[in-house]
Amino acid sequence: MEQVQVQQHPLSIYFKIWTLLFILSGLSYMVDYLQFQGYLRWSLIIIFMLLKAGLIVAVFMHMVWERLAIIYAVLVPTLAIMVFIALMALEADYTFLSRLIYFGR
């Protein structure tokens, strides 16, 4: 039986990440509250979202302390989602244009 790695880390790191998550959530709410629009809004939303997601997966879910085998097993398959997004974005554009042409609105 392999020795089980125990995920034991000082509490302070959790409090730091917790605070960061609060700040980032507050900032993403401010994007809406201050009514930023257009590319500024979208890029800020994505930046705060990715930072939050990264912190949760890396520290709260202990991913940074795991071995590479499990990190790759979990993170690499999600790259396929990027392809799916690109395909469906093309499809949506096509549907939208068809609707404009054939339904006149």
Q: x-or-dash pattern for another protein, window 1-20, by CB under 8 A?
A: -xxxxxxxx-x--xx-xx--
Cα 76 to its chain centre, rounded Å, is 14
Element (H, E) at 26: helix 11-33
**Helix and strand element counts for the chain (H, E):** 4, 0
Q: Which residues bind another protein (CB under 8 A)?
A: 2-9, 11, 14-15, 17-18, 21-22, 25, 28-29, 31-33, 35, 41-42, 45-46, 48-49, 52-53, 56-57, 59-62, 66-67, 69-70, 73-74, 77-78, 81, 84-85, 88-89, 91-93, 95-96, 99-100, 103, 105
